[in-house]
């Protein structure tokens, strides 16, 4: 491989790396929503892998149903995080042209966690 080809490849790799950084920052501002229990519990997650809000229908709040409510919250949060991960992966695929880059397999890898 010639020095010119190598230099072009390095510039292209740096451009992709910068684009990935931009997409990661933009993803942190985007949110996805998921619900459980027919909409009784709704969780919102961002592309940074964080739960930003949880909404609970007032009809579900009953001390006798605390265990069920806890399960619904966990289910809604997990689904919201799964959707956030899918959103980030879709954005990354746009940048990388669908190439599978090692270490880019999940949201934790993307965010250095």
Q: What is the pLDDT of residues 1-30, one digit of tens each?
A: 788 888 888 888 888 888 888 888 888 888
Query: CA 35, CA 62: separation in Å to the nearest integer?
Result: 19
In the block, tokens 């451009």 appear at 15
CA angle 30, 32, 35 (to 5 degrees): 160
Query: CA 95, CA 8: separation in Å to the nearest integer?
Result: 18
Task: Please name each of the domains of the chain with its CATH number.
Answer: 30-110 (3.30.1310.10)
Query: CA 22, CA 102: separation in Å to the nearest integer?
Result: 19
Instruction: Burial-class residue 39 by CB neighbours within 10 Å (0-12, 13-18, 19+).
Output: exposed
Write down the pTM of the prediction.
0.62
Say if residue 113's pLDDT is above 70: no
Give the pLDDT confidence score for residue 100 in this predicted structure. 61
Confidence tier at 98 by pLDDT (50, 70, 90): low
Give the pLDDT confidence score for residue 111 in this predicted structure. 46
Mean pLDDT across 88-93? 85
């Amino acid at each position: 491989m010639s020095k010119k080809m190598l230099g072009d490849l390095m510039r292209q790799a740096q451009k992709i790396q910068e684009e990935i950084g931009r997409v990661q920052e933009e993803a942190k501002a985007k949110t996805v929503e998921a619900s459980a229990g027919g909409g009784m519990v709704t969780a919102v997650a961002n592309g940074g892998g964080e739960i930003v809000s949880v909404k609970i229908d007032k009809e579900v709040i009953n001390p006798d149903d605390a265990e069920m409510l806890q399960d619904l919250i966990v289910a809604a949060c997990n689904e919201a995080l799964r959707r956030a991960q899918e959103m980030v992966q879709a954005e990354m695929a746009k940048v990388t042209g669908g190439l599978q880059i090692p270490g880019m397999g999940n949201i934790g890898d993307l965010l250095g966690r």
